[in-house]
Each structure stands twice: as C-alpha cells, then as structure tokens.
Amino acid sequence: MKLWLLRPVDGLKKNDNPWEPWFDKAFGFVVRAGTEEEARALAHADAGDENRGTFLCDKVADTNQPWIDAKYSTCVELLPEGAAEVVMKDFASA
C-alpha cells in the first residue's frame, strides 16, 4: 500500500469553493491506499460538509465530490525521499 496526501487546491474562486465557509469541513487527509483513485474515494467517503455543494440554498461549488475531482483537490503520493517537513497538523482554534 501507498500513503497519499489529499488537500484542497489553492486559489479556488469564492463562488466555486467547497471549503467556503470554512466550518464543518475536512481540509486534508493522509490515506493508505493502493491507487490515487482509491485514496480519493476513501477521502470522499469520510468528508465533511465540503461534499454538500450548496449551503443554505446558496451555491458554493459546482461539485459535491471535491475529493474525487482534481479541479478541487490534490492527491500526491507521500514518498520517503524529500526535505524534512510537517506532513499534517490537525489543529483547531476558535
């Protein structure tokens, strides 16, 4: 199995951004899966309100599958090579 890092794409338009508004959403996943497609499907199945596509009858995105669609999310394999970095930080502040 491989490890995959999924994150929202940077710079999405406000009227086509599943992560607007920011609350009740998942903003990243580290997933163990054999393929990118499987990793995206696992993230999709565990998503938050970013999968809604609409919020209180207002359009916020043209999709209700942002973890499946490469227009909205990235999915890169995590390899052991590379610079030292924090891969994921799960932090919430109010």
Is residue 29 assigned to a domain?
yes
pTM tops 0.75, yes or no: yes
pLDDT recorded at residue 57: 56
Is residue 13 assigned to a domain?
yes
pLDDT digits (tens, 9 = 90+) for 26-62: 999 999 999 999 999 999 999 998 998 655 556 678 8
Is residue 33 assigned to a domain?
yes
Helix (H/G/I), strand (E/B), else coil: 38: helix
Closest C-alpha among 49, 48, 60, 63 to residue 20: 60
Is residue 70 assigned to a domain?
yes
**Domain that includes residue 59, residue range:** 2-78
Report yes or no: 25 and 43 within 8 Å, Cβ to Cβ. Answer: no
Residue predicted with more confidence, 85 or 37: 37
Q: How many domains does the chain have?
A: 1
Residue with tokens 């999968």: 51
How far is it, in rounded angstroms, from Cα 4 to Cα 35? 9
